[in-house]
Amino acid sequence: MKQQIFGLLIAASLSGCAGSVKEVSCAGLDWEDFGYQTGKKGKSVRTFDPYRDGCGENLEPGAMNQYLDGYTRGIIEFCTYENGYELGSENKALPDVCPTELKPAFAKGHSVGIIEFREKLSKLKRFNEDEASMQERTSAEKAADTSYGK
């Protein structure tokens, strides 16, 4: 059974104000799968930083290369036109994780998604406006009918 080695690091929060102690596993992980899953979910390659920095020499030999092999496979699967489009159509921000050569297609998908999202949004807005004005008209007509009837 592989020995579990843990590393400690102080992970500074983004604001840089507070620090928290986090424990990471330095050996025994399926590094390639870990990298693959990280890449496939579109997370940053820097997810590995805590392991690299926290474990130092305790990091299992070859861990980083295995992680990167897996990550590269994962990120290639993630950075597609379709996934960009999906993110864009949900009005999600374009993540800066894709390698240069995949970025154009991914960003293009994202832009198309964003445009469609905006079109949908404006359609919806127009629809809502139309609905509102229709309702207004209907109410006004009803009011007029009532007064005429009276």
Interacting residue ranges for another protein, rule: CB under 8 A: 45-46, 48, 68, 71-72, 75-76, 99-101, 103-104
Q: How many Å apart are CA 44 and CA 110, to the nearest integer? A: 18
Q: How many Å apart are CA 62 and CA 51, to the nearest integer? A: 13
What is the closest distance, in whole angstroms, from the C-beta atom of residue 125 to another protein in the complex? 35
Provide DSSP, 91-109.
Answer: T----TTS-TTTHHHHHHH
Q: How many Å apart are CA 20 and CA 14, to the nearest integer? A: 11
Residue 73: phi, psi to the nearest 5?
Answer: -60, -45
In the complex with another protein, which residue's Cβ is closer, 75 or 87?
A: 75
In the complex with another protein, which residue's Cβ is closer, 19 or 99?
A: 99
What is the closest distance, in whole angstroms, from the C-beta atom of residue 128 to another protein in the complex? 40
In the complex with another protein, which residue's Cβ is closer, 48 or 85?
A: 48
Q: How many Å apart are CA 132 and CA 145, to the nearest integer? A: 20
What is the closest distance, in whole angstroms, from the C-beta atom of residue 46 to another protein in the complex? 7
In the complex with another protein, which residue's Cβ is closer, 11 or 68?
A: 68
In the complex with another protein, which residue's Cβ is closer, 11 or 45?
A: 45
Asked if residues 5 and 27 have their Cβ atoms less than 8 Å apart, the reply is yes
Q: Which has the closest alpha carbon to 114: 145, 92, 137?
A: 92
